[in-house]
Amino acid sequence: NIHDELEKSYDPRDNSCVISITGRKFSELSYPEEHPREDPVAMARRLGILPGGQWRPLNCHPLFNVAIILPFRNRHAQLSIFMNYIHPFLQSQNLDYRIFVIEQSPIREFNRAKLFNVGYKEATKVNDFHCFIFQDIDLIPQNPDNIYACTKMPRHMSSSVNTFRYNLPYTGLFGGAIALTRRQFEWVNGFSNVFYGWGGEDDDFYSRLQSRGLQVIRFGPDIAQYYMLTHKKEPPSSARFERLENSARRYDSDGLNNLDYKVLDHQLRPLYSWILVDV
């Protein structure tokens, strides 16, 4: 039961928003790539989104307070498809949310995990968010019951992706889209900062959770369905296995507590908060 799993950010009261689990069966999306895209300013105005990509329902008290953290570099077309889709999706769930895009400057290999740590740190400066969704922009959630809020245990949200024929490739997969409360994320010292290049950082994070006794949960495969936008695959980093081998030695010293980065620029854009960083 999804309702029992959810960890509310606020106590329910009179006029709390209803979280409706529709039980709607997954239906294949028509390709999101082909959806018409709206001008961001027009879209923000139409949907009542505040500068920096902030929204909350006005006719009821939201139960969930969520920061959505998106690491980014170079994929502008995908970012616009994602924004076009995700705002109406999140609004249908009556969340109090804000979207952060953390862009890495061009000088080093991409470091997805470190960008998540940066997004977490920067988001906590803006608001006292209770719940964090860390996710890739190429993943489009297909089922409105896949609620973008936290659960009592860390949740792997994207366990059923079209590119894997909607199967989970391995039990320890914790990539794609995940949800953790602030407290859960702090408890494991965030992500490792050392995974430059593709692969392994999510496996490392999974073992962090395990080492701290946090069991991962997943909603059913009909709910956790995502459509992955197509792109060229990155070549995997050759250093990733070596880093994974000694990851346990770094849990306490490598993560939120030694995070070092430089904000180069930031803007409140119509559909998201944009932060450019050197990591």
Site residues (vs ligand NGS, CB under 6 A) = 175, 199-200, 202-203, 236, 240, 244
CA 178 to CA 162: how far, in whole Å? 17
Contact 2, 123 (CB under 8 A): no
Rounded least distance, CB 244 to ligand NGS, Å: 6
- Which lies closer to ligand NGS via its Cβ, residue 73 or residue 269? 73
Enumerate residues 6+ apart whose C-beta is below 8 A from 14: none
Rounded least distance, CB 34 to ligand NGS, Å: 23
- Which lies closer to ligand NGS via its Cβ, residue 103 or residue 138? 138
Amino acid identity for residue 197 in this structure: G
Rounded least distance, CB 234 to ligand NGS, Å: 8
- Which lies closer to ligand NGS via its Cβ, residue 153 or residue 244? 244
Provide the token pair at 137.
């922009």
Closest residue to ligand NGS using C-beta atoms:
199
Rounded least distance, CB 180 to ligand NGS, Å: 17
Rounded least distance, CB 225 to ligand NGS, Å: 15
Query: Interior CA angle at 174 toward 168 and 179, to 5°?
Result: 115
Which H or E run contains 183?
helix 182-187
Contact 262, 108 (CB under 8 A): no
CA 258 to CA 252: how far, in whole Å? 9
- Which lies closer to ligand NGS via its Cβ, residue 206 or residue 274? 206
Provide the token pair at 165.
């024929």
- Which lies closer to ligand NGS via its Cβ, residue 7 or residue 202? 202
